Structure 1
């Protein structure tokens, strides 16, 4: 079987549950998002819920990775970000600092591997395949490879002409897998990169950190709107995601958390809040 056919079958679920949190505004906290995905991993992993696509947007938030909290002058770096009007949190998974704002669409594909194991690369490749199909009508084709001078560089950075517009990560918990992508849709990719570049300059101070942090180059990052040369909105891409899933002959069910999931969510939210507080204690 061709690889694309395998990925198509992974995405061609009989039913996709849709949780759209793109319009909740500034009151929707990024820590809530991590608790949401952990909750969904648990309920979908046990097959109490169908596979789910969750979409979310957060206002002016910098999400640090655990490794960022080991920077020698972290507090100075955080103060710089807060002076620019950003809230700073630490996520409960790998990777390094990323920027979230109104122009950044985040998507999570949450799947169960209770019946069939999903390899790590297969999860990443499924997201890449979906993005290829979604961006095709815009005339945009991209590469999936590390852009080392971007913020939060990784093997599955998505770029056009060497300019990164998206990064993909995974969260695995209790038989569930959340494949997560952040897409810089509107605004300036370079300005976002400058923010993280300056954070590292402040947080590294004059000491030599034990871990190698990226030397961020704003010229290697851009938004999809910049790359397309025309406006593309978060709502445009959200509509395209739904059309893609519909084209896979899936039934789409819009919903929020069930009563059982809400109880799980409270537990996971407290856990991510506690971990975030501990990670930021210096």
Structure 2
């Protein structure tokens, strides 16, 4: 049976409240929920989140030779900048990008690949009404390329990452729902141009081709409000669990969240 099948699914929707939150909140919250779910083998937690104009850098990005110039460029374009607490490279968040975290207790059957594959399966089920031929595989010329990029016709609309800690696993996906995929990609391309300059780097950063990235609205030709996407996501989630409930954190869990957030803030003070 798929790891998506759970006795109970819990939901935390921050698609609206997240627009006024610093995205550091989301990474601290996912860490908190990983710890919460580690005590509940049959639980799954689905958290949706949307943040305003922010570029989230990976740890490797923070080591770019001219990172200050890159950050200055992003800020001049009206974007906030943070460094996340997990791997991967730069991604763009804005009101047209819907993020979903599926959070499970870590267990033997939940290998790294099975976590990614569960998210791929979930998204394909979620989007089956669009009649899209969704493929998973690295789109090398996208930003934050990875083995489990999701694309249609070689144009990427989503990327998946994974974080494991404290007995829990958070599989996270960003979905470009509305807006221009190529404009987001061009922003990240210009960031790397500024932050690398003419320097040689040990790490290989992506050579981004903006037309390799796209949004779901561009792929389908349909208007896709985030609220409708959330509704269809919940209907899909019900296929994998008998009950849906809302996440409620205890006072102790809120204290854990505050500690996680402090660590994120401290990390960003050193880099950004």
TM-score by length of 1: 0.93
RMSD: 1.4
Mapping 1:6-17, distance limit 5 Å = 6-7=1-2, 10-17=3-10
Q: Does 1:50 align with 2:29?
A: no
Q: Which residue of 1 aligns with 2:166?
A: 174
SS of 2:127's equivalent in the other structure is helix
Q: Which residue of 2 aligns with 1:38?
A: 31
Please give the alpha-carbon distance, in whole angstroms, between the structure 2 residues aligned to 1:131 and 1:49: 21
User: Do the aligned residues in 1 keep the contact of 2:217 with 2:224 (CA within 8 Å)?
Assistant: yes
The alignment covers a number of residue pairs equal to 272
Mapping 1:252-271, distance limit 5 Å = 252-271=244-263
Q: Which residue of 1 aligns with 2:175?
A: 183
Residue segments in structure 1 that go unaligned for 5+ positions in a row: 1-5
Q: Which residue of 1 aligns with 2:192?
A: 200
CA displacement, residues 110-152 of structure 1 (integer Å, 9 cap, x when unaligned)? 00025x4410000000000000101111112210000000000
Q: Which residue of 2 aligns with 1:69?
A: 62
Please give the alpha-carbon distance, in whole angstroms, between the structure 1 residues aligned to 2:58 and 2:101: 18
Please give the alpha-carbon distance, in whole angstroms, between the structure 2 residues aligned to 1:31 and 1:42: 17
Q: Which residue of 1 aligns with 2:156?
A: 164
TM-score by length of 2: 0.96
Q: Does 1:21 align with 2:14?
A: yes
User: Do the aligned residues in 2 keep the contact of 1:46 with 1:174 (CA within 8 Å)?
Assistant: no
SS of 1:187's equivalent in the other structure is coil
Please give the alpha-carbon distance, in whole angstroms, between the structure 2 residues aligned to 1:74 and 1:157: 26
Following TM superposition, by how much is the alpha carbon of 1:47 offset from its aligned partner in structure 2, in angstroms?
Answer: 2.6
Following TM superposition, by how much is the alpha carbon of 1:13 offset from its aligned partner in structure 2, in angstroms?
Answer: 0.6
CA displacement, residues 31-63 of structure 1 (integer Å, 9 cap, x when unaligned)? 010100000111111339932100000000000
Mapping 1:60-99, distance limit 5 Å = 60-99=53-92
After TM superposition, where is structure 1 displaced by more than 6 Å over at least 4 residues in a row? none
Please give the alpha-carbon distance, in whole angstroms, between the structure 2 residues aligned to 1:279 and 1:173: 23
Please give the alpha-carbon distance, in whole angstroms, between the structure 1 residues aligned to 2:25 and 2:18: 13
Please give the alpha-carbon distance, in whole angstroms, between the structure 2 residues aligned to 1:36 and 1:263: 11
The 10-residue stretch of structure 1 (248-257 or 23-32) with the greater mean CA deviation from structure 2: 248-257
Please give the alpha-carbon distance, in whole angstroms, between the structure 2 residues aligned to 1:25 and 1:16: 21
User: Do the aligned residues in 1 keep the contact of 2:19 with 2:95 (CA within 8 Å)?
Assistant: no
Following TM superposition, by how much is the alpha carbon of 1:256 offset from its aligned partner in structure 2, in angstroms?
Answer: 3.7
Going from structure 1 to structure 2, the CA distance change for 1:92 and 1:258 (only over 3 Å counts) comes to same
Following TM superposition, by how much is the alpha carbon of 1:25 offset from its aligned partner in structure 2, in angstroms?
Answer: 4.8
Q: Does 1:101 align with 2:94?
A: yes
Tell me which of 230, 243, 254 is aligned to 1:238: 230
